[in-house]
């Protein structure tokens, strides 16, 4: 017996962020408090969404600079639960911009969903004179309903980016996100999604059991930066505190000062996993038999997530 159920429902999960922020002065785009409005309020502020079949759920209410492992666990479980419902076409997640790219990559690695999970946000609070949140939310719903969409995507400023490529590239402008190598996937124009590139095949999902360990027991993975005068002091301080993994954002093609590399090799010899990325905005770190392990084309924050998940899987 076949079901006549139509998959046209979009579930919108709220986590807070600037998109849900408020300020006392409508002309103030920076002196606001994030995560003040619920996700249902955000939806009701976009009248044209009333024509869509939507559900909302408040998973968290925080400024994304304070995103944590426990909230990631809750969010991943909520996403998986709704994706399993046959009537759901896709999901939208409202989020803060500061750590959006990290959450996007985490969800892609853990769930690798066949249905679209579209993360959106805003650079201006909900009380701003020219707020960007409502349009971004409207666009995200359009992407979640588009038959060409799949996986974890970011809809922001009229563009659609993949979880693997998206990065925050500006601290203030409303077009704050870009794809690392310029390859945005699509544009959203008056509610229509125009695809510009093909989605890359997704790696198999790690699954929720991979992140089931209590958040307080997750491995400790830190990010370091190579720069003029970089030495090994921070590495040795982290070793003394019991770090489990280190991602170093090297200069250029992952290059490191002699002093910093020596300290990282000491850490490696003591059983700490070390991965080498780049502080450049785009481009890979090429592998070499004589160099510390490469993160490939992943930037430092996404390389940290990869290492974190690898350490969880090994423990």
Q: What is the CATH number of the domain that holds 224?
A: 3.40.50.40
Any domain includes 209: no
Look at the chain and report how many structural domains it folds into: 2
Q: Tell me, yes or no, whether 187 and 262 share the same domain.
A: no
Which of 80, 87, 103 is closest to 154 using CA atoms? 103
Q: Tell me, yes or no, whether 103 and 160 share the same domain.
A: yes
The boundaries of the domain holding residue 58 are 9-195
Residue 1 has pLDDT above 50, yes or no: no
The residue from 195, 230, 253 where one domain ends is 195
Q: Tell me, yes or no, whether 169 and 223 share the same domain.
A: no
Residue found by looking up tokens 């003029």 in the block: 228
The residue from 161, 195, 229 where one domain ends is 195
Any domain includes 200: no
Q: Tell me, yes or no, whether 170 and 36 share the same domain.
A: yes
Q: Tell me, yes or no, whether 60 and 133 share the same domain.
A: yes
Q: Tell me, yes or no, whether 19 and 159 share the same domain.
A: yes
Residue 187 has pLDDT above 50, yes or no: yes
Any domain includes 205: no
Cβ-contact 234, 241 below 8 angstroms = no
**pLDDT score recorded for residue 2:** 47
How many degrees, rounded to 5, is the angle at CA 14 between CA 13 and CA 15?
A: 125
Q: Tell me, yes or no, whether 184 and 272 share the same domain.
A: no
Q: Tell me, yes or no, whether 75 and 185 share the same domain.
A: yes
Q: Tell me, yes or no, whether 33 and 170 share the same domain.
A: yes
Which CATH number does the domain housing residue 182 bear?
A: 3.40.50.1170
Any domain includes 276: yes
In tens, the pLDDT along 146-158 reads 999 999 999 999 9
Any domain includes 299: yes
pLDDT class of 198 with cuts at 50, 70, 90? confident
The residue from 162, 195, 228 where one domain ends is 195
Any domain includes 203: no
Catalytic residue among 2, 15, 18, 286: 18
- Answer yes or no: 120 catalytic: no
Radius of gyration of the chain from Cα atoms? Answer: 20
In tens, the pLDDT along 231-281 reads 999 999 999 999 999 999 999 999 999 999 999 999 999 999 999 999 999
pLDDT class of 78 with cuts at 50, 70, 90? very high
Any domain includes 4: no
pLDDT class of 41 with cuts at 50, 70, 90? very high
Q: Tell me, yes or no, whether 298 and 158 share the same domain.
A: no
Q: Tell me, yes or no, whether 148 and 290 share the same domain.
A: no
Which of 21, 62, 22, 16 is closest to 39 using CA atoms? 16
Residue 99 phi, psi (nearest 5): -120, 20
User: pTM for the full model?
Assistant: 0.96
Any domain includes 213: no
Q: Tell me, yes or no, whether 179 and 65 share the same domain.
A: yes
pLDDT class of 4 with cuts at 50, 70, 90? low
CA 169 to chain centre: 13
């Amino acid at each position: 017996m076949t079901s006549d159920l139509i998959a046209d429902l979009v579930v919108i999960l709220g986590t807070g962020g600037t998109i849900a922020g408020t300020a006392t002065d409508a002309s103030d785009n920076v002196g606001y408090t994030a995560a003040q409005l619920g996700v249902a309020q955000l939806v009701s502020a976009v009248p044209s969404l009333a024509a869509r079949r939507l559900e909302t759920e408040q998973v968290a209410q925080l400024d994304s600079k304070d995103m944590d492992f426990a909230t990631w666990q809750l969010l991943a479980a909520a996403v998986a639960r709704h994706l399993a419902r046959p009537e759901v076409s896709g999901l939208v997640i409202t989020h803060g911009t500061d750590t959006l790219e990290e959450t996007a990559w985490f969800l892609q690695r853990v769930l690798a969903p066949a249905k679209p999970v579209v993360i959106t946000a805003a650079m201006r609070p909900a009380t701003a004179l020219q707020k960007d949140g409502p349009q971004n939310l409207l666009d995200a719903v359009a992407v979640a309903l588009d038959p060409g969409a799949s996986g974890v995507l970011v809809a922001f400023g009229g563009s659609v980016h993949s979880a693997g490529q998206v990065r925050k590239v500006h601290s203030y402008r409303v077009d704050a996100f870009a794809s690392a190598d310029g390859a945005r996937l699509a544009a959203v124009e008056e509610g229509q999604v125009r695809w510009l590139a093909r989605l890359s095949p997704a790696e198999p999902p790690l699954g929720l059991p991979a992140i089931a360990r209590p958040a307080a027991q997750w491995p400790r993975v830190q990010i370091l930066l190579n720069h003029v005068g970089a030495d090994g002091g921070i590495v040795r301080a982290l070793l003394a505190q019991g770090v489990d993994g280190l991602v170093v954002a090297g200069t250029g093609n992952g290059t490191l000062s002699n002093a910093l590399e020596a300290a990282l090799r000491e850490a490696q010899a003591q059983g700490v996993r070390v991965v080498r990325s780049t502080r450049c905005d785009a481009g890979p770190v090429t592998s070499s038999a004589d160099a510390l392990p490469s993160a490939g084309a992943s930037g430092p924050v996404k390389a940290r997530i990869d290492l974190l998940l690898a350490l969880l899987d090994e423990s």
